[in-house]
Amino acid sequence: MEKNKVISVECISKFYPTEVGLMRIFKKARLIRALKSVSFNVYEEEVFGILGPNGAGKTTLIKILATLVLADTGKTTMFGYDVKQNPYDIKNKIGIITGDERGFYWRLTGRENLMFFGTLSNLSKTELKKKIPYLLDFVKLTKSKDIMFKEYSSGMKTRLQLARALLTKPEMLLLDEPTKSLDIEGKEKFKQLLKEPILGKKPTVILATHSLEEAEAVCDRFMILKKGEKVIEGDIEDIRNFLKLSNHITISFSARNTDDLKLIIKDIKNIKSLTSIEEKIIKNTADLNIRYKENPVDFLTTLIAFCKNVEGCEVLSLNVNSKDLKEIMHLILDIKKV
């Protein structure tokens, strides 16, 4: 069944003035591009990653979706509401988490902070009394609920942000570098929390991050931004196909003589998914550098079978290299525009 489109972003651009404050009276501001003609859709219950290096425009995009920043051009609708015309309807449906450790009252406890922000989110006292203990337990802060926020560790602060974002049982979570101040253990715990159903529901998640491992672990689809422009959008396989990326194997094997080696190489060259092969034969040893477009396990099985068919053939070394998201992103960001 096709899922509902919950975000539709059409050709939005955003420029920031370089001069803010009083200087703008005296000096004409130069404009810096944060986003240029970015379009994408997000579907219900999807975990959508916005990836890119620092300055790519990830935070600006999240803030436009959170109705905190207005785009200069283009149209953004969320749940059918226009972000400029109906910000309060959208705010009722979203929860936001930033990697910023501020955003809470440092001299209130974690529970008191949730009471405060829950009230601003139109939750009744009864609802808050029910939800706050549940969410504090969910983010594992029950024991620290009556400690002032200023005493919390970075991990606890981020987890309290998650609890706050979930108070309204949001249909969408906007996460902007949520784990940037967490240690490895904290990051793992946070990723696990995101995978769990929350209040019996799976929200749509928009995750802006420069951590590719994090994105690969939790995202269904990705969009890569570079200097405010969308470079590519899709899941890993889409991106791989779009870039016509092939997998890569280097193999070194020996045989009783050069004729046997050539026989094996001839068989390999007949494999359909092969895209290129470089060979180097020295005496009775061959080094092959092979590129192919197929599942690495299937390709390897065929390759080994060819070697086994020839008596005396021995595989000396094998190196399988399938491109992961990190390599793909580096490759993409090296290209000006795909």
Partner 1 sequence: MIKIIRKVFIFFWKDLKNLFSYKLGSVLYAFSIFIPLIIFYFLSQLVGDEALPYISKYSLEYFPFVLVGLAFSNYFIFGINSLSASIRNEQMMGTLEAMLSTPTSIPTIIFSSVIFDFVLTSLQIFLYILFGKYIFNADIHFHKIIPMMLMLFFTITSFGTFGIISASFIIVFKRGNPLALLITQSSILFGGVYFPFEMLPGWVQLFSKCLPMTYSLRGMRLLLLQNAPFSEILPDLLFLVIFTMIFLPISIYIFKFSVNKAKKDGTLIQY
Binding residues for partner 1 (CB under 8 A): 14, 16-17, 20-22, 34, 60, 63, 66, 68-70, 72, 88, 91-92, 94, 96, 98, 100, 102-108, 112, 115-117, 119-122, 125, 148, 164
Task: Please identify, using beta-carbon distances, which residue of 66 and 332 lies nearer to partner 1.
Answer: 66
Task: Please identify, using beta-carbon distances, which residue of 149 and 222 lies nearer to partner 1.
Answer: 149
| Shortest distance in whole angstroms from residue 63 CB to partner 1 | 7
Task: Please identify, using beta-carbon distances, which residue of 45 and 100 lies nearer to partner 1.
Answer: 100
Whole-angstrom Cα distance, residue 325 to residue 135? Answer: 33
Task: Please identify, using beta-carbon distances, which residue of 69 and 243 lies nearer to partner 1.
Answer: 69
| Shortest distance in whole angstroms from residue 184 CB to partner 1 | 25
Q: Cα–Cα distances in Å, from 114 out to 9, 107, 283? A: 31, 13, 74
| Shortest distance in whole angstroms from residue 103 CB to partner 1 | 4
Task: Please identify, using beta-carbon distances, which residue of 79 and 104 lies nearer to partner 1.
Answer: 104
| Shortest distance in whole angstroms from residue 29 CB to partner 1 | 9
| Shortest distance in whole angstroms from residue 278 CB to partner 1 | 51
Task: Please identify, using beta-carbon distances, which residue of 121 and 142 lies nearer to partner 1.
Answer: 121
Whole-angstrom Cα distance, residue 324 to residue 213? Answer: 10
Task: Please identify, using beta-carbon distances, which residue of 89 and 294 lies nearer to partner 1.
Answer: 89
Task: Please identify, using beta-carbon distances, which residue of 21 and 197 lies nearer to partner 1.
Answer: 21
| Shortest distance in whole angstroms from residue 40 CB to partner 1 | 20
Whole-angstrom Cα distance, residue 158 to residue 190? Answer: 9
Q: What is the 3-state secondary structure (H, E, C) of the chain?
A: CCCCEEEEEEEEEEEEECCCCCHHHHCCCCEEEEEEEEEEEEECCCEEEEECCCCCCHHHHHHHHCCCCCCCEEEEEECCEECCCCHHHHHCCEEEEECCCCCCCCCCEHHHHHHHHHHHCCCCHHHHHHHHHHHHHHCCCHHHCCCEHHHCCHHHHHHHHHHHHHCCCCCEEEEECCCCCCCHHHHHHHHHHHHCCECCECCEEEEEECCHHHHHHHCCEEEEEECCEEEEEECHHHHHHHCCCCEEEEEEEECCCHHHHHHHHHHHHCCCCEEEEEEEEECCEEEEEEEECCCHHHHHHHHHHHHHHCCCCEEEEEEEECCCHHHHHHHHHHCCCC
| Shortest distance in whole angstroms from residue 69 CB to partner 1 | 5
| Shortest distance in whole angstroms from residue 92 CB to partner 1 | 5
